[in-house]
Chain A
């Protein structure tokens, strides 16, 4: 049996057991669902309806409450996907690969939302739907990275090989993201005299900042919910026939 060179606590290895993960995730799921629903509703209502209008941008800045969480999540999910993939490669945990796979679609979706809302935000601010500014361009490249991972994942038919290949690509992509971001930002300063960043966050009053915090947290909870659900469904798929599955209430036996 391969041994890891570091001593990881027992709960770490326990998480790798599909049976345990399935049960634990099942317990966590409803809480994340409630949290996501609550935080997102509260944050959205507050930000979109009740927060004071920005003196410069008027009401159009409100799209920030959708754009910023999407942008933040798109990057963190990629990182999380790479970490899960790395865990799977080093400790040979199949559950880690399943978690990584669950992140792909939701991460790509958040990136797409960030792109679209960025474009929508750009129109009243700059007069054009698309500008090649640093933020939007690097988000676009990030979207291409997601698309590549998604395509690779679907192209390989054998599941555990797909998991490993996706993990390698995610790790390579993650290491490259800072380089890409830096190069795009640098390229942007070279070609545009004014550097108007899409999210001007100088000093935002609390009434503007807090709803943003809520929507970001709510989005994270939503992401956690989706990942847990999708990982559980992958576990069910791969373990079909295992006896312990039948004991769970939410599976109607066949």
Chain B
């Protein structure tokens, strides 16, 4: 049951990854590889564990069974979840400043450029609380253009965006993966890009009655 990554370079891969919630197994024995240029669309029904999978890959959710392996320790991952991670009382610029400051630094010019890229020119000094939901989402996404990251983990990134915003974002995903980055995202919307790979979590959920805990202590 052990998983050996191929000799090609990979950014991250999982080995027999599993997750349970309240003794109900969400998915089991999940093995896949994320290589540069991959765009994974994680699909599944509500409650299938899509968000939990992304969080496990990000390192936010504990991994009790199986493993998540990163190609090296300095791999940069940006995770944008349901909650945007923005402080409402700070301006868009200030938010990007502290977000970028978590792992490096940024100049105002860079931040302004990122905000312009997502269509928020002129809104840089507005408190986020005054922005609409779609605009807030764009501020969060601006971080992707500000901080160079290898892997983007995006949970429902099209939420609240208008038509143009969705088109723009698909374009950014395209650019990022063509440049060698990787994306894993969940969405109920289809993404019309040729190189999209589908990961259907439904395939990894166990039949009724099986239980992870049968295998005893996790470390054996």
Q: Does a CB–CB distance below 8 Å link A and B in the complex?
A: yes
Which B residues touch A241, using CB under 8 A? 208-211
Whether the pair A238, B67 counts as a contact (CB closer than 8 A) is no
Whether the pair A18, B219 counts as a contact (CB closer than 8 A) is no
Whether the pair B214, A93 counts as a contact (CB closer than 8 A) is no
Q: B151: shortest Cβ distance to chain A, in Å?
A: 23
Q: A160: shortest Cβ distance to chain B, in Å?
A: 8
Residue B203, interface by CB 8 Å: no
Whether the pair B217, A13 counts as a contact (CB closer than 8 A) is yes
Residue A19, interface by CB 8 Å: yes
Which B residues touch A160, using CB under 8 A? 64
Bound-complex Cα distance A95 to B213 (A):
10
Residue A230, interface by CB 8 Å: no
Residue B22, interface by CB 8 Å: yes
Residue A181, interface by CB 8 Å: no
Whether the pair B213, A92 counts as a contact (CB closer than 8 A) is no
Say yes or no: A242-B219 contact (C-beta < 8 A), given A1-B67, A159-B23.
Answer: no
Bound-complex Cα distance A94 to B209 (A):
19
A contact residues, total (Cβ < 8 Å): 24
Bound-complex Cα distance A95 to B219 (A):
13
Whether the pair A4, B214 counts as a contact (CB closer than 8 A) is no
Residue A2, interface by CB 8 Å: yes
Bound-complex Cα distance A5 to B211 (A):
28
Which A residues touch B22, using CB under 8 A? 158-159
Say yes or no: A1-B219 contact (C-beta < 8 A), given A18-B213, A242-B211, A242-B213.
Answer: yes
Q: What is the interface residue range for chain B against chain A?
A: 10 to 19
7-65 of chain B: CB within 8 A of chain A: 21-23, 64
Q: Mark B199-220, 1 if CB is under 8 A from A, else 0.
A: 0000000001111011011111
Whether the pair A3, B216 counts as a contact (CB closer than 8 A) is no
Across the interface, A20 reaches (CB within 8 A) one of B23, B210, B216, B219, namely: B216
Which B residues touch A20, using CB under 8 A? 216
Bound-complex Cα distance A21 to B124 (A):
60
Interface of A is mostly: loop
Across the interface, A92 reaches (CB within 8 A) one of B67, B208, B218, namely: B218
Which B residues touch A238, using CB under 8 A? 23, 213
Whether the pair A239, B213 counts as a contact (CB closer than 8 A) is yes
Bound-complex Cα distance A93 to B220 (A):
10
Bound-complex Cα distance A94 to B211 (A):
14
Which residue on chain A has the smallest CB distance to residue B63?
A: A2
Residue A17, interface by CB 8 Å: yes
Which A residues touch B216, using CB under 8 A? 16-20
- Beyond A19-B216, A93-B218, A241-B208, 14 additional pairs, beta carbon < 8 A: A3-B219, A18-B213, A91-B217, A92-B64, A92-B218, A93-B217, A94-B218, A95-B217, A160-B64, A238-B23, A239-B213, A240-B23, A241-B211, A242-B214
Closest A-B pairs by Cβ, 3 of them: A16-B217, A17-B216, A92-B218
22 CB < 8 A contacts A-B? A1-B67, A3-B219, A16-B220, A17-B220, A18-B213, A19-B216, A20-B216, A92-B64, A92-B217, A92-B219, A94-B218, A95-B217, A159-B22, A159-B23, A160-B64, A238-B23, A239-B23, A239-B211, A239-B214, A241-B208, A241-B209, A242-B211
